Chains A and B, each alone.
Chain A
Amino acid sequence: GQNIDQPTEMTATEGAIVQINCTYQTSGFNGLFWYQQHAGEAPTFLSYNVLDGLEEKGRFSSFLSRSKGYSYLLLKELQMKDSASYLCAVYMDSNYQLIWGAGTKLIIKP
C-alpha cells in the first residue's frame, strides 16, 4: 500500500530554524511536493523535488533522498506567519496520482 508519514505537530520559536520530515513508501515515484496550508485557507505550493538533493527558495528549502524515501522541509528565520500546516505529497507516475500525508501543524511561539 501507499504510506506517507509526517509528524502531527511541531513547535518552534520565532527566528529559529525548523525541519519538517516526510517519509514515504509508495509504488512508483516521480516527485514530491510540499504545500503550506494556513488554517481555514487553501493549500499553496511551496516546492517540487524530483532529483535527490537540496533546493533552496529564500527562507524555505526542501531536500529529497529517493533511495531512502525521505524528504524534509527546512524553514529558516521563522516568522509568526509561518504558523500553518505543511503537507507533503508524492506524485506517482504509476497511476498519475498524488498521495498526501496528513500534514504537520507548525506552531510558532514568540
Chain B
Amino acid sequence: KAGVTQTPRYLIKTRGQQVTLSCSPISGHRSVSWYQQTPGQGLQFLFEYFSETQRNKGNFPGRFSGRQFSNSRSEMNVSTLELGDSALYLCASSPGLAGGPVDEQYFGPGTRLTVT
C-alpha cells in the first residue's frame, strides 16, 4: 500500500505571495490532518478534513485554508505569506471513522516552506 505523499517537498516563496500544498492520503483513508512543525514548537494542528468537510480547526489565522476532494486528496493554501510561516508542513491520514484523529495517523514526508 502506498504511503502518504506530499508535493512539493521543498518550496521557496517571498513575503506576500501565496502557496498551495498538496497531500494524497493512503488509499481508503478518509481523514486528512495538516500540521505545521517548527523547531522548539512541535506540531501545531491546522485542520482536519473528513469526507470533503472540515471537521476540526486549530488556532491559525484565516490566511491558512484547506480543502478536500472527493478522492480524499487534500490541499492547503496559505495566502499573504509571512516570514514566520517558514516551517515544515506535514499532512497525516487515517481511516477517520471515529469522531476525530483518534486513529493512528500516517504522516507524509512533509513540505518544507521557506519564506524570504
Stretch at the interface among B14-22, B40-48, B67-75: B40-48
Number of A-B contacts (CB under 8 A): 59
A33 to chain B, nearest CB (A): 8
- CB contacts (< 8 Å) of A48 on chain B: these are 104
Q: Is A60 an interface residue (CB 8 A)?
A: no
Task: Digitize B14-39: 1 where CB-to-A-CB distance is under 8 Å, 0 elsewhere.
Answer: 00000000000000000001010000
B56 touches A91 (CB 8 A): no
Q: Give bound CA distance, A101 to B40, whole Å.
A: 9
Using A42-B108, A97-B56 as known contacts, say yes or no to A102 and B41 having CB atoms under 8 A apart. Answer: yes
Interface centre among B4, B35, B58, B107 (most CB of A within 10 A): B107
Task: Digitize A4-40: 1 where CB-to-B-CB distance is under 8 Å, 0 elsewhere.
Answer: 0000100000000000000000000011010000000
Q: Give bound CA distance, A35 to B108, whole Å.
A: 14
Q: Count residues on chain B whose CB falls below 8 Å from chain A CBs.
A: 25
- CB contacts (< 8 Å) of B2 on chain A: these are none
**Looking across the interface, which residue of chain B has its beta carbon closest to that of A4?**
B42
Q: Is B55 an interface residue (CB 8 A)?
A: yes
Q: Give bound CA distance, A96 to B90, whole Å.
A: 18
Q: Is A89 an interface residue (CB 8 A)?
A: yes
B53 to chain A, nearest CB (A): 13
Q: Give bound CA distance, A91 to B90, whole Å.
A: 18
Chain A residues engaging chain B, CB cutoff 8 angstroms: 8, 30-31, 33, 41-45, 48, 87, 89, 91, 93, 95-103
Chain B residues engaging chain A, CB cutoff 8 angstroms: 4, 33, 35, 40-45, 48, 55-56, 58, 90, 99-102, 104-110
Return the 3 tightest CB-CB contacts between A and B, nearest first: A96-B100, A42-B107, A102-B42
